[in-house]
Amino acid sequence: MVDMADFHVDIGPQYEGEVVRKEDMHVEFGGPKAKAKFELVTLKSMDEVEHEKVEIIGPDIKDMAEGSTSSIALLVDIAGEELEKDMEPVIERRFHMYMNNIEGIYHMNQRNDIWIRLNKESFKKGLNSLKEVGDMLIFLYTSELMAIEKISITFVTDEAKVQELLADAMKIYAARDERLKGLKEEDVEEFYGCVLCQSFAPTHVCVVTPERIANCGAINWFDGRAAYKLDPEGPIFGVEKGECVDEVRGEYTGVNQNSMERSLGEFDQVYLHSAFEHPHTSCGCFQSICFYIPEVDAFGIVHRDFSGPTVIGESFTRMAGTTSGGRQVEGSLGMALEYLRSPKFIQGDGGMYRIVWMPKEVKERYQECIPADLFDKIATEDDVTNADELTAFLEKVGHPWVKGEVELP
Amino acid sequence: MTTTIVVAGKGGTGKTTISALLIQLLSQKGVVLAIDADPATNLNLALGVQVEESVGKIREDMSEAVSKGILSPSISKQEYLDSKIMAALVESKGFDLLAVGRPEGPGCYCAANNMLRLSIDKLGKNYAYVVIDSEAGLEHISRQTTRDVDFLVIVSDLTQRGVKTAGEIKRLIREMRTQVGRICLVINRTSGDIPVEINNLIEQIGFEQLIAIGQDPNLSDLEVRGVPATQLPDGSPLRAGIAELARGIGG
């Protein structure tokens, strides 16, 4: 059993946010100067984990020169009846908090970007072994997370060995990201709102969901969650999702309520995934516009970097003038380009199958989110220059929307 | 408690030299975070250190990573910026330097700047002093750095134009919803007393403190040799003026 009295330094939340400057540093692990570094939590079965074991592979703190930088791998194995695979990243994220709770230790970042510093004072007090750091982490993990029944920690400081292990860790991180990218509005209780642009567009309220990134493309759902936690009084805030009123168009009671309050009563109804009737408001910062083309009853996409005229003869700048200002403009939706990747992209209007034109650059960049059977049927500036040519093009290639094959949900 | 000092003024008044000497003096009392927020000058050269990464570059790299979709969804951009800023810090004896660097291109920077401001605010809390060498327009004060300023030091030369610019800066900072403590005017490169025409203008605008620094004969030699201003000999008029300034700050 680990006891706090055995430790050479103190542990507590008062040490969080404490920065170790280079002048005060004894040694550092990871960071920009280290070749390889990462931390990883792995769930194992009960008989695979030797409880409270701390192993060090490579040199320990006391073997290192003052002021030196070392590679590091921090491997934590856990076991417990109630633990699930999905909890690994959450438990791994606790490293950051726990490490920073140790007097004289500073921890930044996560995964393969970690950066840990130990200050001279704590080293002098006797914190000269990773064994003790491991004991402290085990103490913190087991006293705060009861579901962890068994835990062991391995520190690897041998550079070649860290590099070898890192390759496998990268595969695990990539797999986790894939799962996260699949997060849906149905999976969460809270969305986030942003009113940073209200200085330009006083009634604009951006709504950020796992399937809708902010218009500027800079804030996704995870960013919203982090920003709100860090600065709860700031311009980015939580939005209670409420009841889902219209699953297809993306209407939620909580979002409606929020928009009414934040737009000073201007709008009380918002469809998150439709450009018609009650579209999301547009600030002035959007990366692109999804615009209605009446001749073919479909949509085109144009982004800020496209300087020429679009298929309807107007440039991005000209259209931006009529789209922006924090209003709901039917058939003209300011949006982030990344919204094209959302499975709910204007799903109320037919989604990607309702798109008939976009600049070549956008089409190439977002190729993977355009269905293969549709890709060649979306026109670009190379194919057509006006609505008449567009109509002829769509008929020639047999665009599914023009052929009437797309059913609105 | 961190004391935040902004040094501003018209170009060519010696603002950056004064910032560097102030940072050097304050760093003997407590650790200083120096922020070079004027892309037109080089505070790092005046301090004698090298800069490898700027905040502007970090911001551009982030928007590029976002547009290519290579940022992991599980790492928030705030955390990303926090870590990049830590890595961009030039860590020196008694002070750390952060360079803001190049200005923005077209497109929207509201979100990025808001995140940068949070990062830099949080970072600043670890220091006894934050000294910001700002451009005259104070752009970065509102956009990226802290909102509250304890001391605003405005540097002017012995000209009507310099003092009028100082008046503009004073008006600007009040308009920006920024909380400001004391405002001090430094008239640099005086020769003898301040002439009555300039003195009248100074009194008309009104500053809480006025410091006059005489022409420093030792500086031009350093400038010619490319030696950092921080190597100015003891007893230089500039050092005496900075010591007076620091006393006002409580350093």
Mean pLDDT of chain A: 93
Strand partners, B190: B214
Asked if A329 contacts A385 with a C-beta cutoff of 8 angstroms, the reply is no
**A206 and A214 Cβ atoms separated by less than 8 Å:** yes
Determine, for residues B77 and A217 on separate chains, whether the beta-carbon distance falls below 8 Å. Answer: no
Q: Are residues A189 and A231 in the same domain?
A: yes
Q: Is the dihedral of CA A317, A321, A322, A324 positive or negative?
A: positive
pLDDT at A63 over 70: yes
A118/A204 same-domain check: no
Q: For position B107, what pLDDT does the model report?
A: 66
Query: Does the pLDDT of residue B21 top 80, yes or no?
Result: yes
Same-domain pairing of A365 and A322:
yes
CB–CB contact B86 A304 (8 Å):
no
A213 interface with B at CB cutoff 8 Å: no
Closest to A106 in 3D by CA, of A173, A42, A24: A24
Same domain for A114 and A197? no
**Cα B194 to Cα B188, B191, B199, B205, B210, distances in angstroms:** 11, 8, 6, 15, 11
CB B97 within 8 A of CB B34: yes
Residue of B76, B112, B122 with shortest CB distance to A226: B76
Judge contact between B62 and B81, C-beta under 8 A: yes
Nearest residue on chain B to A19, judged by CA atoms?
B126
Domains assigned to chain B: 3-249 (3.40.50.300)
A108 lies within 8 A of chain B by CB:
yes
The pLDDT tens digits of the residues spanning A361-378 come to 999 989 999 999 999 999
At A110, list the tokens.
Answer: 């996560």
pTM, full prediction: 0.78
Query: Would you tell me which residues 239-258 of chain A have a C-beta closer than 8 angstroms to some C-beta of chain B?
Result: none
Contact flag A177-B73 (C-beta cutoff 8 Å): yes
Nearest CA in chain A to B76: A223
Q: How many CB atoms lie within 10 A of CB A159?
A: 18
Which chain A residues in 311-350 lie under 8 Å from chain B, judged by CB atoms? 337-338, 341
* Beta carbons of B110 and A285 less than 8 Å apart: yes
**Chain B contact set for A231 (CB, 8 A):** 118
- Region B90-95: mean pLDDT is 95
From A235, A240, A266, select the one nearest A255 (Cα to Cα).
A240
- Considering only CB atoms, which chain B residues are within 8 Å of A219? 77, 111
Alpha-carbon separation of residue B3 from A23, B8, B181, B235 (angstroms) = 21, 16, 10, 26
A176 CB within 8 Å of a chain B CB: yes
Judge: A216–B110 Cβ closer than 8 Å, yes or no: yes
Tokens of A175: 């797999």
- 3-state class (DSSP) for residue A366: coil
CATH of the domain at A58: 3.30.1650.10
For position B143, what pLDDT does the model report? 60
Whole-angstrom Cα distance, residue A295 to residue A113? 51
CB atoms within 10 A of CB B118: 18
| Stretch among A290-299, A333-342, B55-64, B106-115 having the lowest mean pLDDT | B106-115
**Backbone conformation region of residue B177, classed left if phi is above 0, alpha if psi is from -120 to 50, else beta:** left
Residues in chain B: 251
Q: d(Cα A365, Cα A353) in Å, to the nearest integer?
A: 17
Q: For residue B174, what pLDDT is reported? A: 78
User: How many domains does one find in chain A?
Assistant: 2
Nearest residue to B153 (alpha-carbon basis) of B21, B40, B51: B21
Write out the H or E segment, with its range, that includes residue A100: helix A88-101
Q: How high does pLDDT run on average in chain B?
A: 87
Say if residue A358 is in the same domain as residue A257.
yes
3-state SS class at A256: helix
| CB of A330 closer than 8 Å to CB of A276 | yes
**Gap between the Cα atoms of A392 and A389, Å rounded:** 5
Q: Which of A327, A319, A325 is nearest to A201 (CA)?
A: A325
Q: Which strand (E) or helix (H) includes residue A334?
A: strand A332-335
Q: Nearest CA of chain A to the CA of B81: how many Å?
A: 10
Phi, psi dihedral angles at A279 (to 5 degrees): -70, 165
Predicted confidence at residue B40, as pLDDT, reads 76
Query: In chain A, which residues have their Cβ closer than 8 Å to the Cβ of B125?
Result: 17
Q: Is the pLDDT of residue B140 over 70?
A: no
In Å, how far is B83's CA from the nearest CA of chain A? 6
Strand A37-43, strand A72-79: pairing: parallel
Which residues of chain B does A177 touch, with a Cβ-Cβ cutoff of 8 Å?
72-74
Nearest to B95, CA basis, from B37, B160, B30, B150: B30
B20: exposed, middle or buried (Cβ count in 10 Å: 0-12, 13-18, 19+): buried
Residue B147 has pLDDT above 70, yes or no: no
> Do A110 and A38 contact (CB within 8 A), yes or no?
no
Do residues A75 and A170 both lie within one domain?
yes
- Best mutation target among B97, B110, B122, B144 (most A Cβ atoms within 10 Å) is B110
Domain-ending residue, one of A134, A163, A181: A181
Q: Per the CB < 8 Å rule, is B72 touching A337?
A: no
Three-state SS at A141: helix
Say yes or no: A324 and A309 in one domain. Answer: yes
Say yes or no for a CB contact (<8 Å) between A223 and B77: yes
Chain A (120-149) residues lying within 8 Å, Cβ to Cβ, of chain B: none
Q: Considering the domain boundaries, does residue A404 fall inside one?
A: no
Digit-coded pLDDT (tens) for B190-239: 988 899 999 999 999 999 999 999 988 888 888 888 899 999 998 899 99
- pLDDT level of residue B12 (50, 70, 90 thresholds): confident
- State whether A217 and B66 contact (CB < 8 Å): yes
* Packing angle of the helix pair B237-249, B15-26 (nearest 10 deg): 60
User: Does B217 contact chain A (CB < 8 Å)?
Assistant: no
The pLDDT tens digits for A135-181 are: 999 999 999 888 999 999 999 999 999 999 999 999 999 888 887 78
pLDDT at B104 over 80: no
Q: What is the pLDDT of residue B165?
A: 92
Q: Which amino acid is at B122?
A: K
Question: Of the candidates A149, A181, A213, which is a domain's last residue?
Answer: A181
Residue A21, domain extent: 4-181
Q: ipTM of this model?
A: 0.80
Domain check: are A118 and A10 in the same one? Answer: yes
Mark whether A151 and A225 lie in a shared domain. Answer: no
The reply to whether A109 touches chain B by the CB within 8 Å rule is yes
Interface contact flag, B108 A218, Cβ < 8 Å: yes
Do residue A37 and residue A22 come from a single domain?
yes
3-state SS record for chain B? CCEEEEEEECCCCCHHHHHHHHHHHHCCCCCEEEEEECCCCCHHHHHCCCCCCEHHHHHHHHHHHHHCCCCCCCCCHHHHHHHHHHHHCEECCCEEEEECCCCCCCCCCHHHHHHHHHHHHHHHCCCCEEEEEECCCCHHHHHCCCCCEEEEEEEECCCHHHHHHHHHHHHHHHHCCCCEEEEEEEEEEECCCCCHHHHHHHHHHCCCEEEEEECCCCHHHHHHHCCCHHHCCCCCHHHHHHHHHHHHHCC
Chain B nearest CA to A57, separation (Å) = 27
Rounded to whole angstroms, what are the CA distances from B46 to B9, B43, B49, B189?
17, 5, 8, 18
- The pLDDT of residue A380 is 97
Query: Nearest CB to B118: which of A19, A197, A230?
Result: A230
Classify residue A384 by its DSSP letter: -
For residue B172, the Cα-to-chain-centroid distance in whole angstroms is 16
Tens digits of residue pLDDT in A41-54: 999 999 999 999 99
Determine, for residues A218 and B112 on separate chains, whether the beta-carbon distance falls below 8 Å: yes
On chain A, the residues whose CB falls within 8 A of the CB of B31 are: 21
- Name the token pair of B22: 């102030």
Interface check B73 vs A, CB under 8 A? yes
Question: So what's the pLDDT on residue A2?
Answer: 65
Smallest CA–CA separation between A196 and chain B, in Å? 7
A187: which chain B residues are within 8 Å (Cβ-Cβ)? none
- Interface check for B176 against chain A (CB to CB < 8 A): the answer is no
- For residues A260-264, average pLDDT: 91
Q: With DSSP H G I counted as helix, E B as strand and the rest as coil, what are the percentages for chain A, rounded to 5?
A: 35, 20, 40
Q: Would you place residue B56 in the very low, low, confident or very high pLDDT band (cuts 50, 70, 90)? A: confident
Please name the residue of chain A whose CA is at the shortest distance from the CA of residue B32.
A21
Angle at B78 between CA B73 and CA B83, to 5 degrees: 100
Last residue in a domain, options A148, A165, A181:
A181
For A238-259, what is the mean pLDDT?
A: 96
d(CA A244, CA A256): 11
Least confident range of B40-54, B82-96, B130-144 = B130-144
Do A313 and A377 belong together in one domain? yes
Give percent of chain B above pLDDT 90.
51
Q: How far apart are CA A303 and CA A283, in angstroms?
A: 15
The CATH number of whichever domain residue A383 belongs to comes to 3.40.970.20
In sequence order, which residues have a C-beta less than 8 Å from that of residue A31 and are 6 or more positions away? A37, A69, A108, A114, A115, A116, A117, B87
The reply to whether B75 touches chain A by the CB within 8 Å rule is yes
Give the mutation candidate from A21, A33, A90, A96 for the B interface (greatest B CB count, under 10 A).
Answer: A21
| Shortest alpha-carbon distance between residue B220 and chain A (Å) | 32
Is A137:A153 a contact under the CB 8 Å cutoff? yes
Neighbours of A104 (CB within 10 A): 23
Contacts of A180 in chain B (CB under 8 A): 73-74
Q: Are residues A388 and A323 in the same domain?
A: yes
Cβ of residue B83 closer than 8 Å to a chain A Cβ: yes
